[in-house]
Chains A and B, each alone.
Chain A
Amino acid sequence: MINFMLNGLDVAVEKGTTLLDAASFYGIEIPTLCHDEGLSPYGACRLCLVEIGEPGRSRLVTSCTYPAEEGLLVRTHSQRVVNTRKVIIELYLATCPSSKVIQDLASRYHVTQVRFQQKHDNCILCGLCIRYCKEQMQGKAIGFVNRGVDRRITTPFDRKSEECRFCGGCMYICPACQARCQGPAEKSAVCNACLNLSPPCLDHFGETMCYLDPCVACEQGRQK
Chain B
Amino acid sequence: MSGLAGNLRIDRKNFDTRNGESLVALLQQVQEKHNYLPEHVLRELACSRGLSLMEMYSVATFYKSFNLQPRGKHNIVACMGTACHVQGGEKVLEELSRMLGIKPGETSRDGEYSLDHVNCLGACALAPLVVVDGDYHGNMTAARVAALIKEKLREHKGQTAEALNQEIGQKAQSGCCCARLLAGEINSV
Contact = CB atoms under 8 A, between A and B. Distances in A.
Interface of A: 140-147, 155-157, 161, 163
Contacts of B61: 145-147
Contact of B53 (A144, A147, A156): A156
Contacts of B53: 140, 156-157, 163
Contact of B58 (A141, A144, A163): A144
A143 B58 contact: yes
Interface residues of B, number: 10
B54 A142 contact: yes
Contact of B39 (A144, A157, A163): A157
Contacts of B62: 144-147
B45 to A, nearest CB: 12
Given A142-B54, A146-B62, A157-B39, 11 more contacts: A140-B55, A141-B54, A144-B62, A145-B57, A145-B61, A147-B62, A155-B54, A156-B53, A156-B57, A161-B54, A163-B53
B117 to A, nearest CB: 15
| A contacts with B: majority SS | loop
Contacts of B56: 156
Contacts, number: 31
Interface string B31-59: 00000000100000000000011111110
B58 A145 contact: yes
Contacts of B39: 157
20 contacts: A140-B52, A140-B53, A140-B55, A143-B54, A143-B55, A143-B57, A145-B57, A145-B61, A145-B62, A146-B61, A146-B62, A147-B61, A147-B62, A156-B53, A156-B54, A156-B56, A156-B57, A161-B54, A163-B53, A163-B54
Nearest to A152: B61
Nearest to A148: B62
A194 to B, nearest CB: 38
Contacts of A163: 53-54
Nearest to A159: B39
Interface centre among A145, A147, A156, A157 (most CB of B within 10 A): A156
A146 B62 CA distance: 5
